[in-house]
Amino acid sequence: MRLNIDRITALAVLAPSVILLAIFVYGFIGQTFYIATTNWQGLGAVEISSVGLQNFERLFAGSGLPFFRFREALVNTVVFTVLFIAACLSLGLFLAILLDQRIRAETLFRTIFLFPMALSFVVTGTVWRWLFSPRSGLNTLPTLFGGAPLPPDQWAWFTDRRQLVTFTWADASRIVVILIILGLFAFAAIAALRRRPVQALIAGMIGLSLVGWFFLGGAFETLGNVVRPAHGVNLAMFSIVIAATWQMSGYTMAMYLAALRGIPEELREAARVDGCNELQVYRYVVLPLLQPITLSAMIILGHISLKIFDLIYVMAGGDNLRVDVPGIHMYLTAFRGNNFALGAAIAVIMLLLVAFVIVPYLINAFRTEVKR
Amino acid sequence: MSVLALPRQRDIALQRRTVTRLVIYATLTFWAILYLIPIYLVLVTSLKPRAEVSLDQVWALPRQVSTDAFIAAVERLSPNFMNSVLLTVPATLISAMAGSLNGYVLSKWRFRGANVIFPLMLFGMFIPYQSILIPLFQLMSQLRLTGTLWGLILTHVVYGLPITTLIFRNYYTEIPDELIEAAQIDGANFFNLYWRVVFPLSLPGFVVVIIWQFTQIWNEYLFAVTLTDPVSQPITVALSQLAGGQAIDFSLQMAGSFLAALPTLLVYILLGRYFIRGLLAGSVKG
């Protein structure tokens, strides 16, 4: 009897949190999906009617600045995510390995590399805006050694207008579809090798039908109209990557360092006895053991970079198209332009992008936990 | 290195080791300087009188130290600093307490469906908050909580629940079930157990969670800029507007940045060990 009352109490204690999260997370997400299918614009009492998926259609294929801007933001996010993750992982691993060499002042170095994590993205943005302002900051660093300042038009940092690679939206879509097709075929091949014919067959069929769809040309009829202006890899984005890496690389360093400390010394010793030199010990023993940490770090950094907002908003302002991201575009569309329907549509796409990364991760984390 | 090796060989090996150590220390120092450059510039700029912040003097040490910029920053930002304190302290404590109770239930009172509900709760800490921002703003307007700190506190408590619950749940899993069972045999009920057995063991968990939530809420921007008005703005919003002005006063901005960063930096320097633990707990498996 006692136990039953306690069980009910336990559920009653948990209930408020569950209900609040049900409303604030799932209820609100549902509401956002709904708003995204309407034409809700403007403040006050306005007539709202359903428009189906029109908002999404426009974002991906419409002409007009807000829609072009969304696609530019999407391209920028992909570029940012790739560069940011690569920079944080490599720098974090590099620093962690150095710190793992029985360093005297380890605590001091660790504190220095990690302290930016304690700062607000707003502080980082304000400081780096100053560091990267073309007429002062880093560009005038040579004056400290008696040199001339770097020319601001060549070293424009986040105000740079130049693009490294340019492509149209239709090109980008083609590339994405080709990548998906290649991915599906690779998956099918691996499944076939592992003797899982059903998986191989399904992936192969989807891949083949995409190839058919691709060559029949039906895919890009609408996109064909949206040729100009060009998207690309914007040089300005590199400044944001530097600032973000300054802030977040300490995180990957801490993760890698914790993992390195978890590798038993006997394992390394055994490799040395087998004739490995220090480099080979890392190459064949340590690095393979760090793979799960790398995956976790990629997912954590990936979901941060896909939703990044405040750093860029404070550093470069809201109207710098070259470093625009969906997080900023959504905020300005909904809360400055009062176009709530379009803002909600952008938010839905952001959520889907993040969910694509996070949901498999959560499912996997809990599957292994239940097995344990 | 064998003891029998010739002295000459030993010398060479020792020399190579010393060179390697030197390279390692030099590389670490180089990167440490790179990481500290922004801090140097913040301090140097904020301590200069405004007239001295000229283009060719950006990197030079101040010829005379001036606290004008700091005084101006304190004057401009102290109401917002107070708002941040009034926001962060209650939101942190409430979400930590709720997380502790939730973690206790989820780790010691396992029920059917917990393995579905818990991941569903966790998903809430990964979502881009833009995807709930419009309905959140609607609800807060209807409750007349926009433009007050109360709405922001409620928001931070709710969206803090997943991470605080996660950290406490993982922490309480380490408490042996036998301890709970023994107390149950002695007649302890749900709350007796929590207060007499679980809570007294929770101090390290609370330190990690409180530091984590404090840092997150103090540094947060998107909710703050959406839900507050000029009177109730926390310091992050006020700082961003300091930067947005037309006549850019860099020494004021840098002094303001320093002020906004100070509380979380202090926490980090004093309690860094726990900060790192919270950081690593964020990667779910903990």
Q: Which pLDDT tens digit goes with each residue over A39-60?
A: 998 777 678 889 999 999 889 8
pLDDT confidence bin for A228, thresholds 50/70/90: low
Token pair, residue A187, equals 């998956």
Predicted local confidence at residue B286, as pLDDT: 35
CA–CA min distance B52, chain A (Å): 13
Written as six digits, the tokens of A354 are 């993040």
Give the distance from CA A1 to its chain's centroid: 51
Instruction: Note whether residue A243 is domain-resident.
Output: yes
The CA-atom distances, in angstroms, between A212 and each of A141, A145, B86 are 56, 62, 61
Residue B2, pLDDT above cutoff 60: no
**pLDDT score of A66:** 87
Q: Which of A126, A309, A361 sits opposite B222 (nearest CB)?
A: A309
CB atoms within 10 A of CB B143: 12
Given an 8 Å threshold on Cβ–Cβ distance, is B222 in contact with A114? no
Task: Write out chain B residues lying below 8 Å of A126, CB-based.
Answer: 239-240, 242-243, 253-254, 256-257
Residue A166 pairs in a beta bridge with: A232
pLDDT band for position B79 (50/70/90)? Answer: very high
d(CA B235, CA B78): 8
Q: Of A4, A120, A299, which to mutate for an interface test with B (greatest number of B Cβ within 10 Å)?
A: A120
Tokens of A239: 């400044």
Instruction: Give the residue from chain A lying closest to B248, CA to CA.
Output: A130
Q: Give residue A239's domain range.
A: 37-168+226-371
Average pLDDT, whole number, for chain A?
88
CA distance A242 to B76: 30
Interface test with B, best of A21, A95, A249, A349 (most B CBs within 10 A): A21
Instruction: Give B85 to chain A, closest Cα distance, Å.
Output: 15
Task: Find the mean pLDDT for residues B156-167.
Answer: 95
Q: In this complex, do A126 and B256 lie within 8 Å of one another by their Cβ atoms? A: yes
Cβ separation A297–B283 shorter than 8 A: yes
Q: What is the DSSP string of B195-215?
A: IIIIGGG-HHHHHHHHHHHHH
Contacts of A11 in chain B (CB under 8 A): 105, 109, 111
Q: Report chain A residues whose CB lies below 8 A from the CB of B118.
A: 366
pLDDT of residue B251: 86
Closest CA of chain B from A42, distance in Å = 13
In chain A, the number of structural domains is 1
ipTM comes to 0.90
Looking at the structure, tell me whether residues B99 and B218 fall in a common domain. yes
Rounded to a whole number of angstroms, the distance from the CA of A371 to the nearest CA of chain B is: 12
User: Are residues B74 and B11 part of one domain?
Assistant: no
pLDDT the model gives residue B1: 45
Under an 8 A CB cutoff, do B282 and A14 touch? no
DSSP per-residue string spanning A75-114: HHHHHHHHHHHHHHHHHHHHHHHHHTTT-TTHHHHHHHHH
Which chain A residue lies closest to B124 (C-alpha atoms)? A25
The per-residue pLDDT for range A21-31, each reduced to its tens digit, is 999 999 999 99
Measure CB to CB from residue B134 to each of A16, A98, A340 and give the nearest one: A340
Share of chain A above pLDDT 70, in %: 94
pLDDT confidence tier of residue A334, bands split at 50, 70 and 90: very high
- A123–B239 C-beta distance less than 8 A: yes
Write the CA distances from B192 to B90, B110, B112, integer angstroms. Answer: 25, 18, 24
Q: How far is CA A272 from the centre of its chain?
A: 39
Q: How large is the average pLDDT for residues A140-147?
A: 82
- Cβ separation of A296 and B105 shorter than 8 Å? no
B37-46, pLDDT tens digit by residue? 999 999 998 9
Q: Is the dihedral of CA A330, A333, A338, A339 positive or negative?
A: negative
How many angstroms separate the CA atoms of A238 and B237, rounded? 25
Residues B205 and B235 reside in one and the same domain: yes
Question: Does the pLDDT at position A363 exceed 90?
Answer: no
The CA angle A187-A192-A194, to the nearest 5 degrees, is 95
| % of chain B exceeding 90 in pLDDT | 60
* Interchain CB distance below 8 Å, A123 and B257: yes
Residue B137 near residue B196 (C-beta atoms within 8 A): no
> Are the beta carbons of A28 and B136 separated by less than 8 Å?
yes
Query: Is residue B52 situated within a structural domain?
Result: no
As given in the structure block, the two tokens for residue A198 are 């059903």
The answer to whether the Cβ–Cβ distance between A17 and B121 falls below 8 Å is: yes
Q: How far is A13 from chain B (nearest CA, A)?
A: 7
Residues 6+ apart with CB under 8 A from A317: B244
What integer pLDDT is reported at residue A371 of this predicted model?
59
**Helix (H), strand (E), coil (C) string for B120-187:** HHHHCCCCCCHHHHHHHHHHHHHCCCCCCHHHHHHHHHHHHHHHHHHHHHHHHHCCCHHHHHHHHHCC
Nearest chain A CA: its distance from B121 CA (Å) = 7
Q: Is A338 left (phi over 0), alpha (psi -120 to 50) or beta?
A: left
Residue A370 pLDDT exceeds 80: no
Produce one character per residue of A269-307: b if its CB has 16 or more CB atoms within 10 Å, e if not: eebeeeebeeeebbeebbeeebeebbebbbbbbbbbbbb
A365 sits in which H/E element:
helix A340-371
Half-sphere exposure of A110 (CA within 13 A, CB side): 24
Q: A332-341, B121-130, B233-242, B271-280: lowest mean pLDDT where?
A: B271-280
B162 → chain A, closest CA residue: A21
pLDDT at B279 over 90: no
Q: Are residues B32 and B140 in the same domain?
A: no
The answer to whether position A43 is within a domain reads yes
**In chain A, which residues have their Cβ closer than 8 Å to the Cβ of B254?**
126-127, 130
Q: Is the domain of B42 the same as that of B80? A: no
Q: Using an 8 Å CB-CB cutoff, list chain A residues near B214.
A: none
Mean pLDDT on A156-179: 84
Chains A & B: contacts with CB separation below 8 Å: 269
Same domain, B32 and B100: no
- For residues A156-162, give the mean pLDDT: 87
Q: Do A347 and B134 touch (CB under 8 A)?
A: yes
The answer to whether residue B216 is domain-embedded is yes
pLDDT for B194 beyond 90: yes
> Is the separation of the CB atoms in B236 and B261 below 8 Å?
no
Identify whether A215 is part of a domain: no
If asked whether residues B168 and B39 sit together in one domain, one would say no
In a domain, residue B110? The reply is yes
For residue A303, the chain B residue with the least C-alpha distance is B126
C-beta separation of B242 from B248 below 8 A: no
Higher pLDDT, B278 or A181: A181
Subunit contact B55:A9, Cβ cutoff 8 A: no
Contact predicate A164/B79, CB 8 Å: no
- Taking an 8 Å cut-off on Cβ atoms, the answer to whether B111 and A363 are in contact is no
Instruction: Classify residue A151 by its DSSP letter.
Output: P
CATH of the domain at A158: 1.10.3720.10
Q: Are A320 and B110 in contact (CB under 8 A)?
A: no
Residues B77 and B26 in one domain: no
B39 and B146 housed in the same domain: no
Chain B residues with CB-CB distance to A273 below 8 A: none
Do B134 and B18 share a structural domain? no
Q: What is the pLDDT of residues B195-213, one digit of tens each?
A: 999 999 999 899 999 999 9
Q: Per the structure block, which two tokens stand in for B280?
A: 């690593």
Q: Nearest CA of chain A to the CA of B227: how many Å?
A: 11
The mean pLDDT of chain B is 89
Looking at residue A224, what is its pLDDT?
Answer: 46
Task: Count up the domains in chain B and report the number.
Answer: 2
- Cα B225 to Cα A30, B73, B89, B149, B241: the distances in Å are 23, 20, 19, 12, 10
A340-371 and A54-61 helices, crossing angle to 10°: 90
Q: Does B131 fall in a domain?
A: yes
Question: How near does any CA of chain B get to the CA of A190, in Å?
Answer: 28
The answer to whether the CB of B262 falls within 8 A of the CB of B270 is no
Which residue range is the domain that position B167 belongs to?
Answer: 68-281
Burial B222-232 (b: 16+ CB within 10 A, else e): bbbbbbbeeeb
Residue type, B26: A
B55, B115, B256 ranked by CB distance to A136: nearest: B55
DSSP one-letter code for A343: H
Task: Give dist(CA B58, CA B75) in Å, integer.
Answer: 25
Q: Closest CB to A314: pick one of B106, B117, B243.
A: B243
Give the residue carrying structure tokens 């390995």: A97
Identify which of A20, A117, A366 has the shortest CB distance to residue B158: A20
Q: What is the mean pLDDT of residues A137-165?
A: 85
To the nearest whole Å, the CA of B93 is away from the closest chain A CA by: 15
Q: Could you tell me the two tokens for A193? A: 């090798």
> Among candidates A247, A132, A81, which has minimal Cα distance to B215?
A247
Same domain (yes/no): B89, B202 = yes
Structure tokens at A325: 């991201």
Residue A247 lies in a domain: yes
The verdict on residue B253 lying in a domain is: yes
User: Which pLDDT value is given to residue A265?
Assistant: 87
Cβ distance B243 to A119 less than 8 Å, yes or no, reads no
Q: Do A13 and B101 touch (CB under 8 A)?
A: yes
Q: How far, in Å, CA of A336 to CA of A290, rounded?
A: 45
CB–CB of B124/A24 below 8 Å? yes
Same domain for B87 and B219, yes or no, is yes
Which residues in A106-215 belong to E strands, given as ranges?
163-167
Task: Tell me which chain B residues have a C-beta less than 8 angstroms from the C-beta of A326.
Answer: 130
Inter-axis angle of helices A121-131 and B7-46, to 10 degrees? 90
d(CA A36, CA A344): 5
pLDDT tier at B3, thresholds 50, 70, 90: low
Q: Indicate which CATH number applies to the domain containing B163.
A: 1.10.3720.10
- Cβ of A247: how many Cβ atoms within 10 Å? 23
Contacts of B101 in chain A (CB under 8 A): 13-14
